[in-house]
Structure 1
């Protein structure tokens, strides 16, 4: 069975068997679906932006038909960030991740870690170590995985209406698993040599006065004291190369080509995508990163912070489309 078919099968089974309750540091597939759909009206920003013209021909002749050109945001991928490799927050992904990456001993990942001389005996992340009084490390390492949002299954059903744009992504498909991208994600090879990585002010997620850090190099190491900022930066870093082709990572791109009556979003930038937190805080709205200015418990972000470093986010991006009514001629956008 192909991986995409297996992903859909696992998604269906998980949805039917998972309970509706979960611990505070976990989330289930039914909860992902519920929280995603509850945010649709706030996040989709649905609007009619123009009209498409089609040439429709039969044996009796040809005529020009029209259809509305619509635009709205879609929940493309669901991204989880976490430190405990044995306990990703999205419960139903654990079986798939176990099957894909296995354990440290005897696995390909373990061989890579041993070859790189890492000395690690597990695949997880964590905070910096304080091995003596004069030693202090702000460096943390976070794992992340991105799956096609399960609600995409519904968009495939209703996308034929022409009034909903189908992203053509597969629900529950693992577009990125950071432990399968060990060389780049953990050891920053070759990301550390990129010009963007050498300029600490060239890729800030936010403004010069308030930001969550640089998204280059796009790796799992972050120097940050704040869990929600760390998680958001990690999620943005992975989505940044996921939305592009030919990047130096092990992943499946979510980039798509335009076609007649269908215009997908371009590569992700600081302002082109919107994020919705699913865990620990179940949001019903979307925002761009960084969420808000603040540095402490009174900054309004306390509910967004997980005690164990595990967070789950939806990435919403804007699509345009119109119903196919023949051979595409042209479109007008106002």
Structure 2
């Protein structure tokens, strides 16, 4: 019975489509383009060598659309819902054959709060798929925009293919980051805005607010895909620097908007970006949410064979 989902996909509760995502990327607040410095190049020809300069620019690029949802096929990105639906059918078949139960998500534990039932322990699936605008914005104008290491529509993480680690939290539940309070947490207890722990990077999160629970899951996914050699099934979007090209560092929580930004896509589309924690927001009625991950790149147009040095201007506050 578990294979029926592969043959007859269920209708997705999609709330956003590709054209809307592409349009949403035209955001001055998210891109934050600026002239950040100057590059000095050495260009040599048979007639001698000269020093040339080029402008260094820094701006954010949309790397991936990270979706969190409560059941296979629940990805709110309409055109990509079939990916999670198909992979989810495969996962259900494997989990069902091993455990005799159907793989699913949602709220694992509930408690009554002020007469209403609210969940504290939740499980969510998650996908990270290359943002459709990453190549449209990145590298579009030589010398004025940088290319992204991410590729449009490429699946970088599907929790249904990372089922063991995503459902058990192993081996990360044994890491110091997972065992020591205050280490690798989204927000802080001192600031009274602690949303949840980053480790173990699994689909289970303890949080009564469903919007914050989804944000923690999204942060975990970004943490995985922007690094290499992680104990998960995924593709990394991390790139290496080269002369005239400086890709972003790995996503790290509580670093403000210098390291990365999030743009909310679903259930309500935002035209601005922020870093988590970013206040209180209404959760999706169906528990399925989507965010765009933005990261900063710096680059300058190559004017010679050798980059002598680059000078950075002070970033505006």
CA–CA separation in structure 1 for the residues paired with 2:220 and 2:139: 31
| Greater mean alpha carbon deviation, residues 168-177 or residues 147-156 | 147-156
**CA shift in 2, pair 1:111/1:252, >3 Å:** same
CA–CA separation in structure 2 for the residues paired with 1:265 and 1:284: 22
- Matches for 1:1-334 after TM superposition, within 5 Å: 26-37=15-26, 39=27, 41-99=28-86, 101=87, 103=89, 107=90, 110-112=93-95, 114-115=97-98, 117=99, 119-122=100-103, 124-129=104-109, 138-155=120-137, 158-159=140-141, 161-208=142-189, 209-270=192-253, 271=255, 272-292=259-279, 299=280, 301-302=281-282, 305-327=283-305, 328-334=307-313
Q: Structure 2: 5+ residue runs without aligned partners?
A: 1-11, 112-117
**Structure 2 length as normaliser, TM-score?**
0.85
Q: State the partner residue of 2:6.
A: none
CA RMSD of aligned residues (A): 2.2
Contact preservation (8 Å) 1:112, 1:183: no
2:20 match: secondary structure = helix
CA–CA separation in structure 2 for the residues paired with 1:216 and 1:102: 24
Contact preservation (8 Å) 2:68, 2:214: yes
**Structure 1 length as normaliser, TM-score?**
0.81
CA–CA separation in structure 1 for the residues paired with 2:96 and 2:299: 45
CA–CA separation in structure 1 for the residues paired with 2:294 and 2:70: 24
Q: Structure 1: 5+ residue runs without aligned partners?
A: 1-22, 293-298
Between Structure 1 and Structure 2, which shows a larger proportion of helix residues?
A: 1
Q: State the partner residue of 2:8.
A: none
Contact preservation (8 Å) 2:105, 2:125: yes
Give 1:78 deviation, angstroms: 0.8
CA–CA separation in structure 1 for the residues paired with 2:134 and 2:31: 13
Contact preservation (8 Å) 2:61, 2:138: no
